[in-house]
Amino acid sequence: MDKLAEQGFCIVPDVLDEYEVRQTKAALLNAVTESERRGLPTYMPGLDPNEANVRVFNLIELDKIFRELILHKTALALVKGLLGEGFLISNFTANIARPGSKSMSIHSDQGIVIPEPWLQPWAMNIIWCLDDVYAENGATRYLPGSHKIEKASELPPEMRSQMKPFEAKAGSIIAMDGRMWHTSGDNVTDTSERALLFGYYTANFIRPQANWNAVLSSETISGLDEGLFDYLGLGPSANIRLTGTLVNQP
Amino acid sequence: MMPLPAPTTDLKEAQSCLTEYGVCIIPDALSKDELARARSAFYREIEKDQKNDDIVKGFALDPDELNQRLWNLLARDHSFVHMAEHPIALALVRHVLGWPALLSNISGNLTVPGSLRGGLHADQIFVPEPWTEDPQGMIVAWCLDDLTEENGATELVPGSHRWNHHPRKEDEKVDMIKVIAGAGSLVAFESRIWHRTGENSSKDKTRALVLPFYTKPIYRSQENWFLTLDEKFIANASDELLTLLAYKSSGLGLVYGRSPQ
């Protein structure tokens, strides 16, 4: 937790055991097939340069295993530690870098949405590694210390050459501050696939990326437990956050 | 202290007032007919809520149980929909927030004789400080009754948007100005302006306001439209309203690969 606050990320190994990793990977491959069957896009032009990067959206809808993973206690402890108790699940997607997939544009998740200055973490990713992740198979690359960058004008020139890969074993999670500048790596291997799940959480006054009311089926919504229902922001009390006090003068 | 800007029906001038004073007043923004319909709908809905014991009293901003709040206005009468997407309101929204913007909530606020003044606040209270240097929201107050010296006219601090922070405890003694305006007027102020509901010291006058609040699109709305509006409403909504209600999306907000509307 201290590492996450200080260096903008932390890696926790062995959160999932070998069996759980296999189960989750199988569920992900099913989700790819199911997305294709439903005619949902698995490639997003503008986000990735070619179709070797397979994206799966709406994991929450597609399998119970993902509904459990997004609430995993290790993940939530890290989220609460960085964002505080008032957070929402903004999105839960997968990115499978197949051989030949190319790096996307460098960005920070907070920086492309929230106006500068970026002084506090209002967003973060919990990245689930379903394969061993290393530089050659497309590990996420990050710019060390860039979570402290407050304005776009402070970004260094030639960022790519200074970026480092997040290397981790399958079953690890990588927690990353939403202000960290990063990109996916190129997968330059011949055969190694790299599957990552991105649980994206934001402070609860920020509009979630996924409109859960619209993307989840009524069956899924009615089957959600109370905690997940609230963390998806499905209830009637939407943004009622107060950061200041009301000044009452009789 | 900075005075209130003079009322104007010139849209360009109103936009400059919003930049300079943080507030603008536009008289006769509603026609006589529109005003009559909206006013009768408002009081009809208040009565309905009172009868059903649904009336919202003791809201966090109100110090007593007299002030009444009316929620979910879009589903109650078309005259409130008309206000939310009124071309004058949206021209001001575009000037202050850009486009697309979102409708965060739309509520009614009724002061009744004896109701006390509300809590001093700025509407972007959900944005942690330090605030960025531009407003993140704007409210458009539609006056369904005359706002007078004694019936609970909104009190505000013109120019307080330039201080760019939420009022603190020690700011409670700040000098404020009552906004006096005729029924049918529109009073718009951006979300950093310090303000509160005025005290209603009249013997027998109520004061109704309809308050659509707009934000930049990154903020989560205060009303969950997906729960408060039904399919028929959405099917009949204009493109601009659908944008304001977040039914038009691109990039990551797609539903099954396309915009929901």
- Where residue B49 sits, what CATH number does that domain have? 2.60.120.620
Structural domain including B212 reads 11-253
Above pLDDT 90, what percent of chain A? 78
d(CA A121, CA A68): 24
CB-nearest to A238 from B134, B171, B224 is B224
If you write DSSP's letter for every residue of chain A in order, what string do you get?
-HHHHHHSEEEE--SS-HHHHHHHHHHHHHHHHHHHHTT--S--BTTBSSTTEEEE--HHHH-HHHHHHTT-HHHHHHHHHHH-S-EEEEEEEEEEE-TT------B-TTTTTSPSP--S--EEEEEEESS-B-TTBT--EE-TTGGG--SGGGPPSSHHHH-EE--B-TT-EEEEETT--EEPPPB--SS--EEEEEEEEEETTBPPSS-HHHHS-HHHHHT--HHHHHHTT-SSB-S---SS--B---
d(CA B20, CA B193): 12
pLDDT at residue number B255: 57
| CA A191 to the chain's CA centroid | 25
pLDDT at residue number B261: 67
pLDDT at residue number B53: 80
Task: Answer whether residue B6 is part of any domain.
Answer: no
Instruction: Collect all residues of chain B within an 8 Å Cβ-Cβ radius of residue A122.
Output: 128
> How many domains, in total, are found in chain B?
1
pLDDT at A237 over 80: no
Residues of chain B with pLDDT under 70: 56, 249-261
pLDDT at residue number B256: 57
pLDDT at residue number B253: 55
For residue A67, give how far its alpha carbon lies from the nearest alpha carbon of chain B (Å). 18
pLDDT at residue number A1: 80
Instruction: Collect all residues of chain A within an 8 Å Cβ-Cβ radius of residue B69.
Output: none
- Grade residue A246 by pLDDT with cuts at 50, 70 and 90: low
Q: Pick from B197, B254, B258, B259 the residue to mutate for testing the A interface (most A CBs within 10 Å).
A: B254
pLDDT at A95 over 80: yes
Query: Domain-by-domain residue ranges, chain A?
Result: 2-231
Long-range contacts of A191-194 (CB under 8 A, 24+ apart): A191/A99, A192/A99, A192/A131, A192/A136, A192/A137, A193/A96, A193/A97, A193/A98, A193/A99, A193/A131, A193/A137, A194/A96, A194/A97, A194/A131, A194/A133, A194/A137, A194/A138, A194/A139
Q: What is the pLDDT of residues A196-226, one digit of tens each?
A: 999 999 999 999 998 898 889 999 999 998 8
pLDDT at A185 over 70: yes
pLDDT at residue number A238: 67
Task: Assess if CATH 3.30.1360.120 describes domain A2-231.
Answer: no
Task: Answer whether residue B182 is part of any domain.
Answer: yes
pLDDT at residue number A249: 55
Q: Of A154-163, A169-178, B56-65, which has the strongest mean pLDDT? A: A169-178
pLDDT at A88 over 60: yes
pTM of the model: 0.88
pLDDT at residue number A7: 96
pLDDT at residue number B257: 56
Decide: residue A141, CB within 10 A, 0-12 exposed, 13-18 middle, 19+ buried: buried
Question: Would the CB atoms of B218 and A113 count as touching at under 8 Å?
Answer: yes
- The length of chain B is 261
pLDDT at residue number B260: 60
Long-range contacts of B41-45 (CB under 8 A, 24+ apart): B41/B76, B41/B77, B41/B79, B41/B80, B42/B70, B42/B108, B42/B110, B42/B144, B42/B208, B42/B210, B43/B208, B44/B77, B45/B70, B45/B73, B45/B76, B45/B77, B45/B108
- How many alpha carbons lie under 13 Å from residue B7 in its C-beta half-sphere? 13
d(CA A79, CA A72): 11
Question: Would the CB atoms of B221 and A207 count as touching at under 8 Å?
Answer: yes
Q: Which residue of A has its CA nearest to B134?
A: A115
Task: Answer whether residue B174 is part of any domain.
Answer: yes
pLDDT at A5 over 80: yes
